[in-house]
Amino acid sequence: MTDLELQKPKFSERDLDFVVEGAAPEFKDKTKLKRLITEDEAFRKGLVGDEKVFKKVMTEEDAFLKISPPLYFEILLRKALKELERASHTVERTGTQVVAVFDTKEVVELFAREVVVDYLAEMMSSFTRVESYSIPVRVREGTWRKLRFNDMDIDSLTKFAEAVEEEYRFGFYKRIADVCLFTLGVFPEYAHFDYRYPFSGEARPAISGRARRGMEEYEEEGRKFYKLAADHRSAADLGLTEVMGILRDKLNVAKKPLNFVSDHYLNYKKTTLFGLEAQ
């Protein structure tokens, strides 16, 4: 969680080959196309968002292994945004209920900001490698204890953020907020069914050592920690103040393309893709 600076994702040679072969297989001067992708932002956006590239990702079974995760998710996000531009509404699910929300204009306006698309592609890719850590923390002079945390677990991340000095807290604030947005966007069913019984709708009792959170709690904590991240000095140093502030204010809008990607493009693959199958 140390390499936090937001930059336009750099394509590997394999990424460039995949995009070029998908978008323009008949074009002879592949080297020229690759150069244009790396030098011309509008050209890059056009090719990554090309319908043929999306179909290549969806039809090739091992596509995720052929390209970098940020490119994979950027392709899916750009396709989702095209679909949402044509849609009259988005869909929100609360348990077994489906509600139409007429907010597509707001979603499209938010994702017209390239910084948001770039951030979410990188964020989604970060959840394909969930890690657990055990780090010694000084409790008082001469006394240390091991603090364990999983970077998908809000409770352990929060405890760790409280235990370290303020200057080191930005990465934890950011990760906690990202976990909230990722859960709301990609696994909203978890947020609902972990918190409530599926048939009665009643809240489940808390588990020792771990709080249960519903959709509202994830939204509240997501906004809270994006604000803490946006206000932290490291956000300015890393060029992340703007996007942290956007996600703080537009968390409920930012989850919509993630919902669309999860429902239409990932579906049954997502537990394997994000390494949650055995958890």
Dump pLDDT digits (tens) for 172-196.
999 999 999 999 999 988 876 654 4
Please indicate, yes or no, if residue 259 is contained in any of the structural domains. Answer: yes
pLDDT of residue 269: 87
* Any domain includes 268: yes
Number of structural domains (the chain) is 1
Neighbour count for residue 248 (Cβ, 10 Å): 20
Angle at 262 between CA 207 and CA 158, to 5 degrees: 35
Residue 130 confidence (pLDDT): 72
- Residue with the bigger pLDDT between 53 and 135: it is 53
pLDDT at 270 over 70: yes
Bridge partners of 133? 149
Q: Decide if 91 is inside a domain.
A: no
Query: In terms of residue numbers, what domain contains 187?
Result: 132-273
With respect to residue 124, please indicate whether it lies within any of the assigned structural domains.
Answer: no
Question: How is 80-135 classified by DSSP, letter by letter?
Answer: HHHHHHH-S-EEEEETTEEEEE--HHHHHHHHTSHHHHHHHHHHHHHTTS--EEEE
> Band of the pLDDT at 207, cuts 50, 70, 90?
low
Q: If pLDDT is split at 50, 70 and 90, which confidence band does 91 have?
A: confident
Find where tokens 């240390």 sit.
144
Q: In this predicted structure, what is the pLDDT of residue 160?
A: 83
Of 209 and 46, the one with more pLDDT: 46
Query: Residue 245: pLDDT band by 50, 70, 90 thresholds?
Result: very high
Q: Is residue 249 in some structural domain?
A: yes
Per-residue model confidence (pLDDT) at position 5: 44
pLDDT confidence tier of residue 151, bands split at 50, 70 and 90: confident
Label residue 121 by pLDDT band (50, 70, 90).
Answer: very high
How much is the average pLDDT of 59-83?
95
Number of H helices, E strands in the chain: 16, 4
Whole-number pLDDT of residue 268: 83
Kindly tell me if the per-residue pLDDT of 210 is higher than 60: no
pLDDT on residue 141: 72
Mean pLDDT computed over 123-137? 79
Out of 13-17, 144-148, 175-179, 245-249, pick the least confident. Answer: 144-148
- 133-153 average pLDDT score: 69
Looking at residue 272, its pLDDT comes to 87
79 domain-assigned: no
pLDDT of residue 209: 53
The answer as to whether 156 is a domain residue is yes
Residue, of 39 and 131, whose pLDDT is higher: 39
Higher per-residue pLDDT: 69 or 10 = 69
The Cα–Cα gap between 182 and 189 comes to 12
143 belongs to a structural domain: yes
Q: Is the model more confident about 147 or about 84?
A: 84
